[in-house]
Amino acid sequence: MDKVVNITFQEFIQAFPETELPIDLTEDTQSIFSKENKPLSKQMIEEFIVPIDDSIDEFTEYIPCFRFPRTKNFYAIVLWKASLMNYEYFVITFDKKGSLIEKKMVAGTQVKGDALLRTVTTIKEDWTIASVVGVVAANDDLAYDPATSLDSILELTQDGKISILT
C-alpha cells in the first residue's frame, strides 16, 4: 500500500517561482508557464485549490504561473485554469499560514453565451493589474469591435487584498 505524504503549504507556494515584474498575461503565455514550471500534483490541487475553487470538474486543468516578489505578510500567486470553453488566470493571495485572503480572475478567454471575451493583463512592478477586455460576437465571424472593449486597473495592496482603482 502506498504511503500518503502530506504536502505542506510552503511546498505548494514553492511550485510558483518568484518572478520579477512587469509581466503580461495573454492567451499565449500559459504555454511558457507550462514548459518552465512543474505541474501541480493531484494532492496539491486537492489540498490547496479545490477548497477555493467551486467550479471544478474532471476536465479542469491548472498550471502554476508565478509568485509576486517582495510580499512580506502574505503570498500572491498567479494560477492558470483551463475548463470547458474557459481559460483563466487568477491572482490568489494567502496569509502566511495558508488561509485564502482573496482570489480574482484577471485575464483569460471566456465564452459567455454567443460572445467570446478575451482579457489581457499587465501586472506592473508596483502591483497594479491593468486589464483590457475585448468582446467578440460569434455571429460576426469573430470580428473584434474596439468600441466594446473595457479596461480596468486593480491594485494588490500590502495586506493581500485586491482593490479596484478604475
Whole-prediction pTM: 0.91
pLDDT given for residue 166 in this prediction: 77
Domain positions in the chain are 9-164
pLDDT given for residue 136 in this prediction: 81
- All three cell numbers of 17, joined, read 517561482
Which tops the pLDDT comparison, 136 or 29? 29
pLDDT band at 3 (very low <50, low <70, confident <90, very high): low
pLDDT band at 4 (very low <50, low <70, confident <90, very high): low
pLDDT band at 144 (very low <50, low <70, confident <90, very high): low
pLDDT given for residue 138 in this prediction: 65
DSSP per residue, 114-139: TEEEEEEEEE-TTSEEEEEEEEEEGG
- If DSSP states are collapsed to H, E and C, what string results for 65-78? EEECCCCCCEEEEE
| Tens digits of residue pLDDT in 10-59 | 999 999 999 999 999 998 999 999 999 999 999 999 999 999 998 888 88
For the segment 46-73, the average pLDDT, to the nearest whole number, is 93
For the segment 123-148, the average pLDDT, to the nearest whole number, is 81
| Angle at CA of residue 82, ends 77 and 86, nearest 5° | 110
Alpha-carbon gap, residue 77 to 160, rounded angstroms: 11
pLDDT band at 79 (very low <50, low <70, confident <90, very high): very high
